[in-house]
Amino acid sequence: MSRGPHRALGRVILPGLIALFSAAPLLAAGPHHTNPIAQVVLWLACILAAAKTGGDVAVRLGQPAVLGELVAGVLLGNLALVGPGFFEPLKTNPSLEMLGGLGVLILLFEVGLESTVRQMLRVGPSSLLVAVLGVVVPFGLGWAVGAWLLPGEGPHAHAFLGAALCATSVGITARVLKDLKRERTREARIILGASVVDDVLALVLLALVAGMIVAADRGESFNPEAAIVIVVKALGFLVGSLAIGVAIAPALFRLGSHLRSGGVLLPLGLAFCFLLSWVANLIGLAPIVGAFAAGLILESAHYKGFVKKGEHPLEELTRPLTEFLVPVFFVLMGARTDLRSFGQPGVLGLALCLTAAAIVGKQACALGVLGRDVNRFAVGIGMIPRGEVGLIFANIGLGLSIGGKPVIGPATYSAIVVMVIATTMMTPPALKWATERRGGVVDEVTPSGRGAP
C-alpha cells in the first residue's frame, strides 16, 4: 500500500482518537449516564480504540501487537498524572475485570486447541524439567536478593520474594506466539506445557510460604499437610481432567451434533472450557490451567459432525471473541502500572536486582530442554514474563503480616510491581528476536490445522 492511504488514515484516526479521549470525561459527567452499562461501554470504546491503535503502531515497528496494547494501557492508566483522572476507575472496575478475565480464559482455550494431548506428551519431559528449573532457580535467586538488599526484613520476606519470582504468565507468551504465528512449533509446546506446570508448582510454593508466615504470625509451627493436599489436588486435576476429558469429549460432542438448533458448537466448546476452569479454581489452581486443558482435550475429530452440518471449526469460531476480549485484558494490565512507583526511594535498585534475578532464573530453564533442533534461547525467554500472575502474588504479599508488621512493605511491593512490568514488557520484542534469530521446529499438522496425533 502506498503512503497516501496511510497518511489519510492517520489524518482521520489520530484526531478521532484524541477527540474521543478528550471528550470521554465530559460525556461521562453528564446526568444522562445513570445506567451502569453506559459507563462500561464508554470505557470499552476507549480501551478497544487504544488497543487497536497501539497494536497497529507496534506491528508497524516490527513488534507483536500485544506490546502496543500493553503500552496503550500504561498511557491510559497514567493520564491522571497530567490531567483529570477519568480513566482511574477502570483499573478496578469489576465488569471490565470480568471481561478481561474471560478473554484470558478463551485465549488459553484457543491456544490449547492448536495442540493435542499426544503432542504435549511428546515434549512432556522437557516441559517438566523446564518448569522445575523455572521455579527452583528463581526462588533461590529471589531469596538471595532479599537477603542481600533487605537483611533486616527476615527470612519470611526473603522467601516471599523468591516465591514472587517463580510464576510465569502463560497468557503473555501465548499471545506473543500467536502474533508471531509460531504457536505450533516445538518450542511453543514446551513453553506452554512448562508454563502450566510452572504455575502449579508456583502456587504450591506460594501456599507453603504463606502457610509459614501465617503460622509464624499465630506463634505456631508450620503444618506441611496443607501443602501436600494442594500438591495431590494439582496432580489429580492435571492427570484426571486429561484422562476423563479424552474419554467423554467425543461422546459429548457427538451427542451435541444431533441437536437441530444452529450455532451449537461454540456454546458447547465454551461450556466445556468454563467447566474445567471452574474445577481448576475449585481445587486451588488458576482457572487458565483448566481452560488450557480443555483446549488440549478437544480435537477436530470430536466435532467433525458439526463441520459436516456446515459450522466452522471451533478454532475459527473462538477467534472473534479473542479479538474482542483479549485486548481488554492487556490494556487493563498496562493501565494498572503506576509510573509513580519508579520514583520511590530504594525501589529502583531493588527492582533492578529482582528483574535481573527473574531473567537469569528463567534462562536457566533452557538447561531442561531435551533433544536437538530446539531453540533453547527462545524457551528461556518465553518463560520470563510474570504478568498478571506476578501481580496476584504481590497482592497476596500485602495481606501477610507477622505480629502486625507487614511481610512486604510498600517499597518492596513497588519493586515487585516494577519487576513484573519490566519482565512483561520485554518479552514480546525479545521473544520475536529470539524466534527470528533461529526458527523453531514446526510439528506436523493436519489439513484442518490441528496437530497430527
Other CB atoms closer than 10 Å to residue 433's CB: what's the count?
Answer: 14
Tell me which of 156 and 451 has the higher pLDDT: 156
Q: Taking Cα atoms as reference points, which of 411, 429, 294 lies closest to residue 344?
A: 411
pLDDT, average across residues 272-300: 83
Check residue 88 and report its DSSP letter.
Answer: G
| Exposure on the CB side of residue 80, measured as CA atoms within 13 A | 17
Percent of the chain whose predicted confidence (pLDDT) is above 70: 82
Q: Lowest mean pLDDT: which of 28-32, 318-322, 356-360? A: 28-32
Instruction: Find where cell 502450566 sits.
Output: 196
pLDDT > 90? residue 355? yes
Between the ranges 183-187, 251-255, 356-360, where is the mean pLDDT highest? 356-360
pLDDT at 251 over 50: yes
**Which CA distances in Å does 190 have to 122, 238, 375, 450?**
9, 16, 10, 17
* Boundaries of every domain in the chain: 102-437
Q: Is the pLDDT of residue 450 over 50?
A: no
Tell me the CA distances in angstroms from 276 to 46, 171, 285, 287, one per residue in order: 32, 17, 11, 8
CA dist 379 and 388 (Å) reads: 20
Residue 309: pLDDT over 60 = yes
pLDDT of residue 2: 47
Mean pLDDT of 404-415: 80
Whether residue 418 contacts residue 348, with contact meaning beta carbons closer than 8 Å, is answered with yes
Q: Is 401 exposed, middle or buried (0-12, 13-18, 19+ CB in 10 A)?
A: middle
Give the residue-averaged pLDDT of 8-28.
50
pLDDT band at 366 (very low <50, low <70, confident <90, very high): confident
Looking from the CA of 403 toward its CB, the CA atoms found within 13 Å total: 4
Instruction: Kindly report the backbone phi and psi dihedral angles of residue 30, in degrees, each rounded to the nearest multiple of 5, phi listed first.
Output: -65, 150
Q: What CATH architecture does domain 102-437 belong to? A: Up-down Bundle (1.20)
Cell numbers for 53: 491503535
Mean per-residue pLDDT, 399-418: 81
- Which residue is listed with cell 506452554? 192
The mean per-residue pLDDT over the stretch 339-359 comes to: 84
SS (H, E, C) 310-358: CCCCHHHHHHHHHHHHHHHHHHHHHHCCCHHHHHCCCHHHHHHHHHHHH
How far apart (Å, rounded) are the C-alpha atoms in residues 164 and 361?
12
Quote the CA–CA distance of 185 and 136 in Å, as a whole number.
26
Query: For residues 216 and 405, is the Cβ–Cβ distance under 8 A?
Result: no
pLDDT of residue 12: 47
pLDDT at 81: 56
Asked if residues 322 and 107 have their Cβ atoms less than 8 Å apart, the reply is: yes
**What pLDDT is stored for residue 354 in this prediction?**
94
Mean pLDDT of the chain: 78
C-alpha to C-alpha distance for 416 and 409, rounded to whole angstroms: 11
pLDDT of 430 above 70: yes
Give the pLDDT score at 192.
82
Confidence category of residue 85, pLDDT binned at 50, 70, 90: low
Q: Which residue has the higher pLDDT, 85 or 15?
A: 85
- Tallying the residues shown for the chain, one arrives at 453
Residues 58-70 pLDDT 10s = 888 877 787 788 8
> With 70 as the cut, is the pLDDT of residue 453 above it?
no
pTM: 0.69
Per-residue confidence band for 388, with pLDDT thresholds at 50, 70 and 90? low
Higher pLDDT, 422 or 445: 422
Contacts of residue 83, Cβ cutoff 8 Å, sequence gap at least 6: none
- What confidence tens digit (pLDDT) does each residue in 324-345 have? 998 898 888 778 777 776 677 7
Grid cell for residue 1: 500500500
Calculate helix-pair angle for 170-179, 94-113, nearest 10 degrees: 60
**Tell me: the pLDDT tens digits for 205-224?**
877 787 788 778 877 776 66
Spatial separation of the C-alpha atoms in residues 427 and 293, rounded to whole Å: 24
Instruction: Report the alpha-carbon distance of residue 93 to residue 285 in Å, rounded.
Output: 24
